[in-house]
Amino acid sequence: MTPLIKICGLSTPETLDAALDAGADFVGFVRFQKSPRHVSLDLARDLSRRARGRTQRVALVVDPQDAELADIVEAIDPDLLQLHGHETPERVAAIRARFGRPVMKVLGIGEAADLEAISAYRGVADRIMLDAKPPRTAGALPGGNGLTFDWRLLIGLDPAIAFMLSGGLDPDNVAQAIRLTGAAAVDVSSGVEKSPGVKDPGKIEAFIRAARTASAVGVS
């Protein structure tokens, strides 16, 4: 099975084209002002139009209000909304119903107990992203921190769960992560950057190649 690949935090036409040309299945645009990957609505609109019809476009938001989401949906026309905050299952269901877009809920994982939250969200979210739990430091971002979690926690996870693996992935470790977890989808942001918020086209291509290679050697 070939894993789906998401390149998140894209902010320039050049790096977006690198992801598209390499065959990314999803491209993500961040709408969170504290992030170095945050893009304006005007830029996000232009990038989304450039990607339309070539891949799935994802808008990443953190605890958004409905008015903010309305602006994002109008500008980006996302194929998927990625909720990366503290949204409850009820809020996830409400967003999905109000805006008529598939939703991916991100859950921070640090220990086995964190996986228990999956059951509360899998009935209301179209997909679950399992990301490394952010550090407990002032100003820590909800994601994009370049941290991994113990992938062995996912061994034995119900294969029916549509999850995307994230957190500290890069071209050097993504194949190992896929082989160990059997992840059918992977996400990367900081792992393909030269510096925070600045994507590297070569690393994007290398990441996608490594993930595809992992699938070619028998990942199920």
Structure tokens at 114: 């964190």
Query: Measured between alpha carbons, how far is 103 from 81 in angstroms, rounded to an integer?
Result: 5
User: Please, what is the Cα angle at 58 between 91 and 104, to 5 degrees?
Assistant: 35
- In angstroms, the CA 77 to CA 144 distance is 23
The answer to whether 126 is a known catalytic residue is: no
Q: How far apart are CA 119 and CA 113, in angstroms?
A: 12
Dist CA 102 CA 106 (whole Å): 13
Q: Is 8 a residue of the active site?
A: yes
Catalytic residue among 8, 71, 187, 200: 8
Alpha-carbon distance 198 to 201, whole Å? 10
List 21, 46, 131, 187, catalytic entry: 131
**Residues annotated as part of the active site:** 8, 131
